[in-house]
Amino acid sequence: MDKTVLVEMRNICKTFGVIRANINVNFSVYEGEIHGLLGENGAGKSTLVNMLSGIYRPDSGSIFIHGRQVNIHSPKHAIELGIGMIHQHFKLVDVLTAAENIMLGYRKQGFTSRKSMIGSIRDVMTRYGMEVDLNKKIRDMSVSEKQTVEILKVLYRGSKILILDEPTAVLTPQETRKLFEILRNLAKTGCAIIIITHKLNEIMEITDRVTVLRQGKSVATVETSGTNIRELTELMVGKPINLSIERVNTPRGNVLLSVNGLTALGEHNVPVLDNVTFDLYEGEILGVAGVAGSGQKELCETIAGLYPVAKGDILFKGENIVGYSPREIIKRGISMSFIPEDRLGMGLVPSMDMVDNMLLKDYVNQPGITINRKPAREKAERVMKRLDILAPGIYTPIRKLSGGNIQKVLLGREIDANPHLLITAYPVRGLDIGASYTIYDLLKEQKKKGVGILYIGEDLDVLIELCDRIMVLCYGKVTGIVDAQRVTKEDLGLMMAGVSPDKKEDAACK
């Protein structure tokens, strides 16, 4: 049986300034195929698909759609060619209904009746076995419903080639399974699906073939059934790597941080943290799992004194620190370090060098009105050596370093202060595999020293392997705190969706 090639990209090159994002990339997708695009951050995955969806144009190389060479010059042109992109961040209008969003900006003839359009949307839905309430407003929808609307939107516009950029990042395991079902149905009807992800087990589960990109080059295209996670990792990283995280077992110490009934309000006074209660012990890594936006950020920031607390207590070694500003926390010698999620937007100053970034929290403790940069210089050199930071020197602006090295600068600065409590929010986000493992090692080292660590993570496998206990948040509520060695990913997934571990009946917590 001959398979028809729907998309073919040959010898694609694209540079941004001095960065060569794509170098002679070859990539082809068959009709009815789910094709994974795998690669580390900065490997050129997004650049490649953005050329397919008309956002960028290749410097050289050619693109064939249905065997015809095309020059895709705009996103509109891409849609005409039947290419639909589903972005990681949804592009929907909150106050409109699903049907309105799907119809928005799309008109085949001059006038079309609303009724007939809704009719044809329903046709698309039944054809692919999708379910969504067309009259529901986007703002009342869950993330996975919104995603379905996005998919429906591109299908309605007649797309036969679907590109999904990290579609599962915001979904629970259960929602992911539903998405995959839809994708399989689509493939059966002859659509070509390109799915970008760095989650290897999802690649194994859903795709027919995988193309691996490394440093802008396409290193291999393999049949999924003939490969395994280990091989894919090697292709992706370029060298063999040990994927297991060795757990360090340290005796649990005293209670370090005790959070009682913590409540914080977000926009429109909706609670973003709802009666959160937990204890964190010395020498323990407490993981926090949850769908993105379940209150993780607010939890970290309330403890660090950056987000107002509405109700509840935060006891650090018995002292209530609610209401302390970050400055008071530093001045009172409360030995706490916070590694925020947005490293360059919050933890570091990107245009400044390592020396000035080391000063960020220390300068205030210096006497007088002037700044002595000598201790900061020493600290920068010490941190650089201790964490093997690759940088031209301590006077290079931070923003010129790679993501992994930037994270090491931040973590290095905080660890150097010998904190008793370390709060880390997504510390490996955006890092490649090698750098991620360095970060895990550093955290384990701190654990051995008796530091209490609050670890906000997104990869459930890592949470299970790295942490002692895992607390699951759903809409700002704690659905449970479980022993990491005894919990399964399935259970965590259910808890992320709001089902408490003890009563497994359906109890969505919205």
Partner 1 sequence: MQIVKREGTSVKQLIIIRLIAIIAAVIVSGVFIVFLGYDPVKVYSNMISGALGSRIRFRSTLLEMVPLVITSLGILVAFKMKFWNIGGEGQILMGAFAATYIALFVDWIPKYLVLPVMFIVGFLAGGIWGLIPAFFKAKFGANETIMTLMLNYIAVQWITYLQYGPWRDPELKGFAKIANFPDHALLPKVMGIHIGFYISLILVAVLTWFLRKTKRGFEIAVVGESVSTARYAGMDISRIIMSTMLLSGGLCGITGVVQAAGVTKTLTMNVSSGYGFTAVITTYLSGLSAPRVLVVSFLFAILLQGGSYIQSALQIPQAAAEVLQGMILFCALGSEFFTRYKVRFARKNSVSSEVKQS
Q: CB count, 10 Å around CB of 446?
A: 23
Q: How far is the CB of 319 from partner 1 (least distance, A)?
A: 18
Residue span binding partner 1 (CB under 8 A) among the ranges 102-110, 224-232, 319-327, 470-478: 319-327
Q: How far is the CB of 24 from partner 1 (least distance, A)?
A: 16
60 makes contact with partner 1 (CB under 8 A): yes
What's the first-to-final CA gap in the chain, in angstroms? 49
Q: Give the three-state DSSP class for 482.
A: strand
Q: Which of 143, 306, 310, 334 binds partner 1 (CB under 8 A)?
A: 306
Q: CB count, 10 Å around CB of 260?
A: 16
Q: Which of 4, 16, 254, 449 binds partner 1 (CB under 8 A)?
A: 16
Q: CB count, 10 Å around CB of 244?
A: 8
Q: Which amino acid is at 351?
A: S
371 makes contact with partner 1 (CB under 8 A): yes
Angstrom distance (rounded) from CA 154 to CA 147: 11
Structure tokens at 6: 């729907």
Residue number with CB closer to partner 1 (254 or 325): 325
330 makes contact with partner 1 (CB under 8 A): yes
Q: Give the three-state DSSP class for 259.
A: strand
Using CB under 8 A as the binding criterion, the count of chain residues that bind partner 1 stands at: 41
440 makes contact with partner 1 (CB under 8 A): no
Closest CA to 211 of 430, 43, 4: 43
Structure tokens at 279: 């204890």
- Residue pair 65/141 in contact (Cβ under 8 Å)? The answer is no
Q: How far is the CB of 372 from partner 1 (least distance, A)?
A: 9
427 makes contact with partner 1 (CB under 8 A): no
Residue number with CB closer to partner 1 (4 or 365): 365
Order of all β-strands in the sheet with 60-65: 19-30, 5-16, 60-65, 68-70
Residue span binding partner 1 (CB under 8 A) among the ranges 157-165, 213-221, 280-288, 366-374: 366-374
Residue number with CB closer to partner 1 (17 or 67): 17
- Residue pair 484/464 in contact (Cβ under 8 Å)? The answer is yes
Structure tokens at 496: 């992320």
- Residue pair 256/452 in contact (Cβ under 8 Å)? The answer is yes
434 makes contact with partner 1 (CB under 8 A): no
Closest CA to 346 of 265, 423, 260: 423
Q: Which of 56, 156, 426, 440 binds partner 1 (CB under 8 A)?
A: 56
User: DSSP string covering 375-442, please?
Assistant: HHHHHHHHHHHHTT---S-TTS-GGGS-HHHHHHHHHHHHHHT--SEEEEESTTTT--HHHHHHHHHH
Residue number with CB closer to partner 1 (41 or 221): 41
363 makes contact with partner 1 (CB under 8 A): yes
Angstrom distance (rounded) from CA 3 to CA 246: 44
Among residue numbers 335 through 354, which ones bind partner 1 (CB under 8 A)? 338, 340, 342, 345-352
Q: How far is the CB of 56 from partner 1 (least distance, A)?
A: 7
Q: Which of 360, 433, 462, 481 binds partner 1 (CB under 8 A)?
A: 360
Q: How far is the CB of 75 from partner 1 (least distance, A)?
A: 12
User: Site map for partner 1, 398-417, x if CB under 8 A?
Assistant: --x-----------------
- Residue pair 415/337 in contact (Cβ under 8 Å)? The answer is yes
Q: Which of 19, 104, 243, 508 binds partner 1 (CB under 8 A)?
A: 19
332 makes contact with partner 1 (CB under 8 A): no
364 makes contact with partner 1 (CB under 8 A): yes
395 makes contact with partner 1 (CB under 8 A): no
Structure tokens at 119: 């009719």
380 makes contact with partner 1 (CB under 8 A): no
Q: How far is the CB of 180 from partner 1 (least distance, A)?
A: 33
Q: Which residues of the shown chain bind partner 1 in the complex (CB under 8 A)?
A: 16-19, 56-57, 59-60, 71, 73-74, 304, 306, 325-330, 338, 340, 342, 345-352, 356, 359-361, 363-364, 366, 369-371, 400
